[in-house]
Amino acid sequence: MYKVVIIDDEPIIVKGLEKTVKWETWECAVAGTAFNGVEGMELIRREHPDILISDICMPEMDGLSMIAALKSEFPDMEIAILTGYRDFDYAQEAIRLGVCRFLLKPSKMDELNEAIKTMTEKLKEREALRKGEHKTDRLGEGKGAEEFAPEDAAGSFIVKNALAYMEANYKERLKLADVADNVYVSQWHLSKLLNKYTGQTFSEILNHVRMEQAKQLLGNPSLRIGDIAEAVGFLDMAHFSRVFKKQEGISANEYRNTVSVPQKEDKI
């Protein structure tokens, strides 16, 4: 039996899907339900379902980031989105990230059944391929390379969001856990993705972001280096100095001497 998880902040929809759909017809069973994204993520990590049916417009949850996180961590999980959010570009991005079906509320029962049928067929085809049964199927025929591995699109999407979050919050005492929480993946998984897509560790990326900001500030001779270090997120001046010299090959003061232009007195 394929395990199904249902997530929606409208209990009536969750209960309706759980009770109305004839899951046994598709060799499925509902393993759990949740009424918000946070609980849903916890449930998915606990149950490791084969199929997810979820809304993406829930409080305190970025739907596309959630999809990317799930397809990146659970690439074999089939996802159907059931939502009232009518935006073609959004739907297109969700499908690029690996969503099987994007259904609009209120959805007809035959649309739901078709989505479930498609997802279970994909699961069976994948199982057959793993067992070495080479046959033509919808998983491979006529698809581009990017559709073969939606987890790659999901991974790059997560990294892009993680980098944007780091660039926006570099002044804070930022930790890997903070960024991982923001993009809905585990610390371990984010660390792996950052290394895969950038070739750098979290600390190396964060230090690079901070040093680039520091270099801009060093162009202003009125700012003290200690104040600049604090402004870009360093509490320890010595640590800032070590990181700066390691990245730039010269000290912050030496760098300042190469970029600062003495301000000329205004002539009357």
Question: Looking at residues 169-173, what average pLDDT do you find?
Answer: 94
| E strand segments, the chain | 2-7, 28-34, 51-54, 78-83, 101-104
Give buried/exposed letters for 191-209 (b at 16+ CB in 10 A, else e). bebbeebeeeebeebbbbb
CATH number for the domain whose boundaries are 151-259:
1.10.10.60
Sign of CA pseudo-dihedral 256, 261, 265, 266:
negative
Q: Is 199 left (phi over 0), alpha (psi -120 to 50) or beta?
A: left
Q: Scanning the structure block, which residue is given the tokens 């999901």?
A: 154
DSSP state of 61: -
The interaxial angle of helices 63-73 and 37-47, nearest 10 deg, is: 10
Question: Is residue 103 helix, strand or coil?
Answer: strand
Q: Please report, for residues 67, 146, 151, 208, the alpha-carbon distance to residue 96 in angstroms, rounded to integers and kept in the order given.
A: 10, 8, 10, 30
The mean pLDDT of the chain is: 88
Question: Is residue 48 helix, strand or coil?
Answer: coil
How many Å separate Cα 203 from the centre of its chain? 19
Domain boundaries, the chain: 2-130, 151-259
Q: Rounded to 5 degrees, what are φ and ψ at 145?
A: -60, -35
Asked if the domains 2-130 and 151-259 are classified in one and the same CATH topology, the answer is: no
pLDDT band of residue 148 (cuts 50, 70, 90) is: very low
Calpha distance 91→37 (Å, rounded): 18
- Candidates 3.90.1150.10, 3.40.630.30, 3.40.50.2300, 3.30.450.20; CATH matching 2-130: 3.40.50.2300
Task: Judge contact between 214 and 229, C-beta under 8 A.
Answer: yes
Q: What is the pTM of this model?
A: 0.80
| 3-state helix/strand/coil string of 150-216 | HHHHHHHHHHHHHHHHHHHHCCCCCCHHHHHHHCCCCHHHHHHHHHHHHCCCHHHHHHHHHHHHHHH
Please determine, for residue 151, whether its predicted confidence score (pLDDT) is greater than 60.
Answer: yes
Q: Is 62 left (phi over 0), alpha (psi -120 to 50) or beta?
A: beta
How many Å separate Cα 145 from the centre of its chain? 20
pLDDT band of residue 133 (cuts 50, 70, 90) is: low
pLDDT band of residue 243 (cuts 50, 70, 90) is: very high
Question: Which residues are CB-neighbours of 32 under 8 A, at least 6 positions away?
Answer: 5, 6, 43, 46, 47, 49
pLDDT band of residue 145 (cuts 50, 70, 90) is: very low
Q: Say what the pLDDT of residue 200 is.
A: 96
